[in-house]
Amino acid sequence: MKSILETNLLLATKIWEIAEVAGYLWQKGWAERNGGNITVNVTETIDDDLRSRQAISDKIAIGRTLPYLKGTYFFCKGTNKRMRDLARNPMENGSLVRITDDCSSYEIIADKAVKPTSEIASHLSMHNYFIGKSSDYKAVVHTHPIDLIAMTHHPAFLQKDALSRLLWSMIPETRAFCPRGLGIIPYQLPSSFDLADATLKELDEYDVVMWEKHGVCSVSENVMEAFDMIDVLSKSAQIYLTAKAMGFEPTGMSDLQMEELKTAFNLPK
Ligand code: 2HA
Ligand code: ZN
């Protein structure tokens, strides 16, 4: 059978965009071994051929029922697969899944039976939340940026919005392009529903959240925007750490400069 990369060009464009971002995550040094995961809601690209396809896996239980996911399809990075491999060969390292009609499990439909990411329950819970509130968000990116994770090892940075304000004040772009700031989620077991639920709660207020001592989770309309928000936050963290390495505390933009930026760019916070 032909790859879906050959049979559905709209879907192929989305998958190659995911592959491009997977390559960036590896190049940034944020994706050691199988670290990180990406899921994208690709339902709008699904054609009659894909809709009528037989599953190539058993039904796999999500562990909870997600009613808004009825009739939806996702491209998911495979569990234990490497971002650097996904970048070159997305359909060997990820797969297309369909949510079953009872909304409590999924099945793989193409290209190969590559089992999705260990964080699928938290990712699907987020997608369910987006559809439930009629949001256009379709992409969830989780990765392990060294600088941002290091900062979560200091209790002062775990206070609500302490890290947001610090990172915003390092360079104007970060506030402009990550305008809802950075939420903080106290440490939870990776892949757990506790982590999923804590993340959902923070998404009311933030598009990017830190999982303490683990990584970052970013959500957006598409995978490139989700990546860009992590990239600007990491840039700010680098500026902060570079100043500290030179032996001084960076002054940061003043409150007045921050307010001026907020007004000029019509920012939400
Ligand atoms: O997929 O990063 O959090 C590997 C991970 C789990
Ligand atoms: Zn992780």
Separation between Cα atoms, residue 194 and residue 188, nearest integer Å: 7
pLDDT of 193-216, one tens digit each?
Answer: 999 999 999 999 999 999 999 999
Q: Which atom of ligand 1 is nearest to the CA of 142?
A: 2
Read off the amino acid at residue 110. Answer: A
Topology (CATH level 3) of domain 1-135: L-fuculose-1-phosphate Aldolase (3.40.225)
pLDDT of 95-136, one tens digit each?
Answer: 999 999 999 999 999 999 999 998 898 999 999 999 999 999
User: What's the start-to-end Cα distance of the chain, in Å?
Assistant: 50
How does residue 269 score in pLDDT terms, banded at 50, 70 and 90? confident
Three-class SS state of 255: helix
Return the residue whose CA atom lies nearest to atom 3 of ligand 1. Answer: 190
Over residues 48-55, the mean pLDDT reads 97
Residues lining ligand 1, Cβ inside 6 A: 34-37, 117-119, 142, 190
pLDDT of 36-50, one tens digit each?
Answer: 999 999 999 999 999
Residue 75 has which token pair?
């491209």
| Cβ-contact 141, 209 below 8 angstroms | no
How does residue 233 score in pLDDT terms, banded at 50, 70 and 90? very high
Residue 148 has which token pair?
């941002």
Q: Is 6 in the active site? A: no
Which ranges in the chain are annotated with CATH 3.40.225.10?
Answer: 1-135, 145-269
How many other β-carbons are positioned within 10 Å of the β-carbon of residue 88?
A: 12
Catalytic residue among 6, 20, 119, 260: 119
User: How would you write 114-178 as a 3-class SS string?
Assistant: CCECCCHHHHHHHHHHHHHCCCCCCEEEEECCHHHHHHCCCHHHHCCCHHHHHHHCCCHHHHHHC
pLDDT at 23 (0 to 100): 98
pLDDT at 118 (0 to 100): 86
pLDDT at 185 (0 to 100): 97
Write down the residue that tokens 């819970």 correspond to.
125
- What is the distance in A from the centroid of ligand 2 to the CA of 36? 5
What are the CA-CA distances from residue 49 to residues 5, 52, 90, 209 (Å)? Answer: 13, 5, 20, 37
Topology (CATH level 3) of domain 145-269: L-fuculose-1-phosphate Aldolase (3.40.225)
Q: Is the pTM of this model over 0.85?
A: yes
Given its phi and psi angles, is residue 252 left (phi above 0), alpha (psi -120 to 50 degrees) or beta?
Answer: left
DSSP character for 92? T
Cβ < 5 A residues, ion ligand 2: 215
